[in-house]
Amino acid sequence: MLSGCCYRMAQLLRLNIEPEVEGSTPLPTVTQITERESQRRLMWSCYILDVVVGSGVESLIMSSKALPNVKVPCSNNAYLLQKESTTGYLLPDGILLVDPIPAESLGLEAYFVYVISLREQILR
């Protein structure tokens, strides 16, 4: 029950929508980079919690209706160093959409989200 509440609260905070950089500067500040990545990681953590607790029962999974429309997390190295990093989106059919992105941009967190989404589709 709490995992569903967690996912709903994240949606109410609009964490399921990719945050945009505010202001007219083309380059985001270090604070904006860190805040945006923290929001992505929080939303994907709520998604993972929801999917794991639901164990493939579609009526128990809040996220089965729509995936979060945020990019998958960047690598831990980029996050800790507060560097701008490009990642991709997870599509509803379970494909990790990564355009021409260097392999070092995607960390274990991104692949873990991908594996959890595949697990959800298999269990459904």
- For the segment 82-115, what is each residue's pLDDT rounded down to a tens digit? 888 888 888 877 677 766 666 667 888 888 988 8
Q: Which two tokens stand for residue 9?
A: 């609260």
Residue found by looking up tokens 């996050």 in the block:
79
Report pLDDT digits (tens) over 36-45: 899 999 999 9
| Angle formed at CA 93 by CA 79 and CA 116, multiple of 5 degrees | 50
Bridge partners, 97 (sequence order): 89
| Domain extent listing, the chain | 2-123
Q: Which two tokens stand for residue 95?
A: 């494909």
pTM, to two decimals: 0.80
